[in-house]
Structure 1
Amino acid sequence: MPLALVPVFVVGLLGSVHCAGMCGGIVGALSVVPGAARPIPLRVVPQAAPALANVLAYNAGRIASYMAAGALAGGIGEGAGALARLPALQAGGYWMANLMLAMLGLYLMDAWRGLARLEQAGQLVWRRVQPLLRHVRPLPGASLGPAKMLAAGALWGWLPCGMVYSVLVTAMLSGSAAGGALVMLAFGLGTLPMLLGLGLLGARLRAGLRLRGVRLACGALVLGFGLLGLVRAAGGLPHSWVESLCVTAGVAA
Structure 2
Amino acid sequence: MPLQTRTFSVTGMHCRGCEAAIESAVNELEGIRSVRADFAKEKVKVTWEDSKTSLAKIFQAIEDKGYACAPMSSPEPRREKLKTVFIVSLGLAGIAALLVVGALLTQGRPHIPRFEQGVSYGLLFVTGLLTGFHCIGMCGGFVIGYTARESEQTSPSYVMAHLKYGIGKTLSYTAMGAAFGLLGSIVTFTPYLRGIAQLVAGVFLILFGLNNLTHFRFFRMFSLRMPSFLSRFVFVKSGKTSNPFVIGLLTGLMIGCGPLQAIYVLAAGTGSIVEGAKMLFVFGTGTLPVLLSFGAMTSLISHKVSQRLIALSGVIVIALGLMMFNRGLKLTGSGYDFQSLIHGFSSIHL
In structure 2, relative to structure 1, the CA distance for the partners of 1:106 and 1:28 (3 Å cut) is farther
The counterpart of 1:214, out of the listed 309, 317, 332, is 309
| 8 Å Cα contact 1:63/1:185 also seen in 2 | yes
Partner of 1:166: 262
Partner of 2:121: 5
The counterpart of 1:187, out of the listed 283, 308, 323, is 283
Instruction: Tell me, in whole angstroms, the C-alpha distance in 2 between the residues paired with 1:210 and 1:25.
Output: 21
| 8 Å Cα contact 1:99/1:226 also seen in 2 | yes
Shift of 1:196: 2.2
Q: Does 1:235 align with 2:329?
A: no
Which one has a larger percent strand, Structure 1 or Structure 2? 2
Which of the two has higher C-alpha Rg? 2
Partner of 1:250: none
Shift of 1:23: 1.7
The counterpart of 1:125, out of the listed 212, 227, 230, is 230
| 8 Å Cα contact 1:14/1:219 also seen in 2 | no
The counterpart of 1:149, out of the listed 214, 235, 244, is 244
| 8 Å Cα contact 1:58/1:152 also seen in 2 | yes
| 8 Å Cα contact 1:15/1:222 also seen in 2 | no
Instruction: Tell me, in whole angstroms, the C-alpha distance in 2 between the residues paired with 1:216 and 1:135.
Output: 33
Aligned to 1:32, the other structure's residue is in SS state helix
Aligned pair count reads 214
* Structure 1 segments unaligned to the other structure (5+ residues): 37-45, 137-143, 239-253
Q: Could you give the per-residue CA deviations for residues 56-114 of structure 1, whole angstroms, max 9, x where no partner exists? A: 2112212222122222211212223523x22xx23322222322322332333353565
Q: Does 1:18 align with 2:167?
A: no
Identity %: 26
In structure 2, relative to structure 1, the CA distance for the partners of 1:92 and 1:190 (3 Å cut) is same
In structure 2, relative to structure 1, the CA distance for the partners of 1:24 and 1:206 (3 Å cut) is farther
Aligned to 1:23, the other structure's residue is in SS state helix
Bigger relative contact order, structure 1 or 2 (CA pairs below 8 A, ≥6 apart)? 1
Shift of 1:168: 0.8
Instruction: Tell me, in whole angstroms, the C-alpha distance in 1 between the residues paired with 2:287 and 2:268.
Output: 20
**Match of 1:204, as an amino acid?**
S
Instruction: Tell me, in whole angstroms, the C-alpha distance in 2 between the residues paired with 1:7 and 1:175.
Output: 20
Q: Does 1:108 align with 2:226?
A: no
Q: Does 1:54 align with 2:161?
A: yes
TM-score where L is the length of structure 1: 0.68
Instruction: Tell me, in whole angstroms, the C-alpha distance in 2 between the residues paired with 1:149 and 1:184.
Output: 20
Instruction: Tell me, in whole angstroms, the C-alpha distance in 2 between the residues paired with 1:205 and 1:224.
Output: 29
Alignment map for 1:9-88 (pairs within 5 Å): 9-32=125-148, 48-83=155-190, 85-86=191-192
In structure 2, relative to structure 1, the CA distance for the partners of 1:57 and 1:103 (3 Å cut) is farther
| 8 Å Cα contact 1:167/1:184 also seen in 2 | yes
TM-score where L is the length of structure 2: 0.51
Instruction: Tell me, in whole angstroms, the C-alpha distance in 1 between the residues paired with 2:151 and 2:205.
Output: 43
**Match of 1:121, as an amino acid?**
M
In structure 2, relative to structure 1, the CA distance for the partners of 1:213 and 1:26 (3 Å cut) is same
| 8 Å Cα contact 1:107/1:219 also seen in 2 | yes
Aligned to 2:253, the other structure's residue is in SS state coil
Instruction: Tell me, in whole angstroms, the C-alpha distance in 2 between the residues paired with 1:128 and 1:116.
Output: 24
| 8 Å Cα contact 1:61/1:154 also seen in 2 | yes
Q: Could you give the per-residue CA deviations for residues 170-220 of structure 1, whole angstroms, max 9, x where no partner exists? A: 21123233332222111111212222222x536425645754433333333
Deviates more, 1:224-233 or 1:15-24: 224-233
Aligned to 1:67, the other structure's residue is in SS state helix
In structure 2, relative to structure 1, the CA distance for the partners of 1:110 and 1:178 (3 Å cut) is same
Instruction: Tell me, in whole angstroms, the C-alpha distance in 2 between the residues paired with 1:134 and 1:25.
Output: 8
